Amino acid sequence: MERRTVLKSALLAIGTGAAAGCSTNHQSSAPPPSPSSKAASPTTPAATSPGPVAKPKPPTEAVEIGHGPRTVQQVALTFHGNGDPALATKLLDLVEHAGAKASVLAVGTWLVAHPEMAGRVLQGGHDLGNHTMHHKPMRRLGAAEARREVHDCAAVLRRTARSPGRWFRASGTQQTTPLIRSAAAASGYATCVSYDVDGLDWQDPPAATVVKAVLDGIRPGSIVSLHLGHPVTIAALPEILSGLHTKRLAPVTLSELLQ
């Protein structure tokens, strides 16, 4: 009996040792940690997002343009928008019959009295712009009144044409001043349109005088100043358009010439 007890104890001791060794071998044969189980690498700094982009400030002073590029065979016939609408309509008919385009810079009071003229100008594919509310001599105006002249005409254009137009021309002066250019910019106009050819039709001379003034002074890129509401302009226009055709100069809108 004693011998049997000793043998049983010995067999029990062997079994316990084998079980402990299996556990040890299991730990040693474990696969190496995967890269993902490693300690996290130092955090990559987040990409720095750009700060808010500041909007460019609107210009505080418009620029003055007296003519377009001299390298194009184009010119712009511009008409101060005022006077008898029947004369204006007849003139626009002549321009369109010749396949030409024009730009009308309207006086605000003219559009108030004849709001249908805004649609007539735009329907012909012409430009419609701002020539002040009351056509006052802008060089004599103070800053507040100059701003009102531009602003009030822009408001009329919005009502009649749904847009203030792209172009502003000062009244009573060919060249602008810093005050006038500031007044234009305050109403959103980036450009004050001057001219390099004066047709002199506002003086009501003979038609031949208007034709000569235009055709003698015209060059590629020219901006010509003419007027609605003067019969002499209508009388001179066919010969002016014929002369431009001979010189291979296409009458286009300001927007096309200055694009």
Average of per-residue pLDDT across 48-69: 82
Question: What's the Cα-to-Cα distance from 222 to each of 27, 29, 97, 197, rounded to whole Å?
Answer: 93, 92, 22, 7
* Domains in the chain, CATH or no CATH each: 63-258 (3.20.20.370)
| pLDDT digit string, tens, across residues 104-119 | 999 999 999 999 999 9
In sequence order, what DSSP letters do the residues of 135-169 get, joined into one string? ---GGGS-HHHHHHHHHHHHHHHHHHHSS--S-B-
pLDDT of 45 above 80: no
Average of per-residue pLDDT across 89-110: 97
> Of 41 and 158, which is predicted with more confidence?
158
pTM confidence score: 0.78
